[in-house]
Structure 1
């Protein structure tokens, strides 16, 4: 069987090589693009977009073969430097990939009611996240979005606010015990955000669940395998990944991640069932049941399950989605944010002046929203270092976009990292300047120049959740510590994964403030 598979695989490779050997010139790429794309006004495709020449005779299929996450990040930035605000096209065997790097070009995508299907690369995440909100499509996605949106209503965020403040104070206490030592932000911030999302959206304290550090490590291992698959077009086929990829290691780590989330679901289910029984008993006896427990997203899912709207697997998919999305993306923002405050002491001092007299345990959501300069600093961090630097859409039918017609099956890559560094909308774009987001400086900015949470129908459902969590931690940190740089911006190398990462751990010194 193994010999037959090898011969079949080798024969396919030889056949593909023979076909591509006939198409060696740059004109081939133009011809292929014209076959897969058309312009609305009849002009040349190459006048509308930049067609990226492949590094091999196989188009762009093997341009990032054997690349690591840092290489992928640099590959995208190198093309951007060549094209600037002009969209570009990559040619893959799966179809053409239309890549957007400017606010003007992305506007039609985000405003579209049909371009909401996630791209092919999200299939690599499906073994991990199932058919959860991030990767689901069509009516399934519409139903889940409608189901989950009320779980992040303002009234529920108010109860989450108490958890965010409590977790912030716990972290401050932990850091105070370190006595001005250097702190590895990648470790301590990730632990904080995982605790926060589990206690709020899932309603379970990790004090009662073992395995959180192993879970965080496992997520990173899963991500590396997914990146490897992205780089090798042969690995897009599940059967080839099964035979020749790190299939066993991937599914071993997948089991660890799913077992951890299952423990959380089981614990919350037991609490939910007790709560339902207590409520029924209280109603039967016509008595008050006392103070209502804090509501969590998992309560919404259990209620929907009892009504037949979702099954157990659906609950698992949404929990895995929100655990990953809710902790890793927020952790990324906080790491870059604290690093930037450390290397920009004047900005750090301005933030401290704004929060120094705040009573953190008593702060309401309204009062957090009044911290105007702090919000500008958060937004500038997200502009320069978006937690999700890249998203993808899939054309399920022939689609007119920015003067070209993409054939069904084409992919649309949206490079959020580049969109928010467009110098026409953000002069001197590499400079960390929170004043860009003061109201008077944001007045006439393009509506899609700042899109760290995506935009349109598939924008991030938890963006207010994330902003509130970030502010709560920042107030606690700034009131108690002065951040001093150990790692500098010049030290870090950025990586493209499921989220934006640094190749190195980010280290800062937290010196105790003396008021």
Structure 2
């Protein structure tokens, strides 16, 4: 049996963040305010740095699990994965280094987080514990309350300290002494607080929700994925090949290096485009087998990534309208071979001689 009021009970025990909100109006407001935080380019860049740093710690820790000798030993990777995702979520949400991986989970915050997740999962599987008036009177219910007090106390202290730093930086925003630090999810929420859209309690609710729902869920997903990869050597071989291709030579391009991409060469790579000199628009059709297998970076007339052409949709629409208007009325016939055009690579590719075409009215049947 599932009772609707358990939603309210979960709110009371944990937090009234996005995941637990039953009030539609409040959820909608919170969702609108918080969604931009997950599309903030600077925040996502900072998150990537955190992901990489903590993933490297995770990979180093797995050295102790390497199978050696004639009797290899199998390991449960979940504890390693779980402490990694906890380090990531704590630093991403709060800017706090809880050092779950380096401490082996031996600190109050880490222990409380793991225990509360365990209690919640145990209660979900135990219908007789669903009623709050029963659960709160049980030893496990009292333990959850104690652990939650630890978590809320730590997160509240971090939020208040971060708020003090946030306000101080706003006051000295024009000072040359302003220190640069990584922006985290909490900073985005504090900015909303300054505009009087979120209270300190609202922020704590969202941070606590982010901590709970973003830690165990990701760890479970990674754990199952590791199992599936380990169960399918053929898939693992493909993954290894793809990763080796990306990180092939181990070289890091230094910051500030000018990199020139020979786009003409990329677009005439026979591995991506069989018979590259052949004019075959069908090769770009969505149903084309080669189109499905082709890397999205094999054809980059407007460049790609964050520095791609901002006007590419405008330009494509413009070109399509011009050409469709032309071809509704006329037929074209070329008079030169591609070699006769003598292509010149300037800022854009041009022919060194004028392109001359026969143009005729279309002959309709």
The alpha-carbon deviation at position 288 of structure 1 amounts to 5.9
Question: What CA distance in whole angstroms lies between the structure 1 residues aligned with 2:13 and 2:125?
Answer: 14
Distance 1:317 1:186, change over 3 A: same
- Counterpart in 2 of 1:324? 212
> How many residues of Structure 1 are paired with residues of Structure 2 in the alignment?
242
Unaligned regions of 5+ residues in structure 1, if any? 1-60, 62-91, 95-118, 364-437, 442-515
Question: What CA distance in whole angstroms lies between the structure 1 residues aligned with 2:198 and 2:40?
Answer: 24
- Counterpart in 2 of 1:358? 246
Question: What CA distance in whole angstroms lies between the structure 1 residues aligned with 2:222 and 2:51?
Answer: 14
Secondary structure in structure 2 of the residue aligned to 1:131: coil
- Counterpart in 1 of 2:45? 158
1:73-115 CA distances to partner (integer Å, 9 max, x unpaired)? xxxxxxxxxxxxxxxxxxx8x6xxxxxxxxxxxxxxxxxxxxx
- Counterpart in 2 of 1:125? 10
Secondary structure in structure 1 of the residue aligned to 2:215: helix
- Determine if contact 2:9/2:132 at 8 Å carries over to the other structure: no
Task: Find the partner of 1:315 among 203, 214, 222.
Answer: 203
- Determine if contact 2:109/2:154 at 8 Å carries over to the other structure: no
Is 1:217 aligned with 2:115?
Answer: yes
- Determine if contact 1:195/1:206 at 8 Å carries over to the other structure: yes
Distance 1:326 1:350, change over 3 A: same
The alpha-carbon deviation at position 274 of structure 1 amounts to 2.4
Secondary structure in structure 2 of the residue aligned to 1:135: coil
Question: What CA distance in whole angstroms lies between the structure 1 residues aligned with 2:291 and 2:12?
Answer: 43
Distance 1:172 1:343, change over 3 A: same
Is 1:339 aligned with 2:227?
Answer: yes
- Counterpart in 2 of 1:200? 92
* TM-score normalised to structure 2 length: 0.58
The alpha-carbon deviation at position 343 of structure 1 amounts to 1.1
Distance 1:237 1:183, change over 3 A: closer
Unaligned regions of 5+ residues in structure 2, if any? 68-72, 101-106, 254-289, 294-365
The alpha-carbon deviation at position 249 of structure 1 amounts to 2.1
The alpha-carbon deviation at position 256 of structure 1 amounts to 0.8
Distance 1:166 1:361, change over 3 A: farther
Distance 1:289 1:328, change over 3 A: same
- Determine if contact 1:201/1:298 at 8 Å carries over to the other structure: yes
- Determine if contact 2:89/2:215 at 8 Å carries over to the other structure: yes
Secondary structure in structure 2 of the residue aligned to 1:146: helix
Instruction: Give runs of aligned pairs for residues 409-488 of structure 1, distance below 5 A.
Output: none
Structure ID, larger Rg: 2
Instruction: Give runs of aligned pairs for residues 71-470 of structure 1, distance below 5 A.
Output: 120-136=5-21, 137-155=23-41, 156-180=43-67, 182-207=74-99, 210-228=108-126, 231-232=127-128, 237-239=131-133, 241=134, 247-283=138-174, 286-287=175-176, 289-290=178-179, 292-359=180-247
Structure scoring higher RCO (CA < 8 A, sep ≥ 6) equals 1
Distance 1:220 1:312, change over 3 A: same
Distance 1:173 1:334, change over 3 A: same
Secondary structure in structure 1 of the residue aligned to 2:213: helix
The alpha-carbon deviation at position 203 of structure 1 amounts to 1.6
- Determine if contact 1:131/1:317 at 8 Å carries over to the other structure: yes
Question: What CA distance in whole angstroms lies between the structure 1 residues aligned with 2:50 and 2:90?
Answer: 10
The alpha-carbon deviation at position 120 of structure 1 amounts to 4.5
Give the root-mean-square deviation of aligned CA atoms.
3.1
Question: What CA distance in whole angstroms lies between the structure 2 residues aligned with 1:361 and 1:294?
Answer: 26
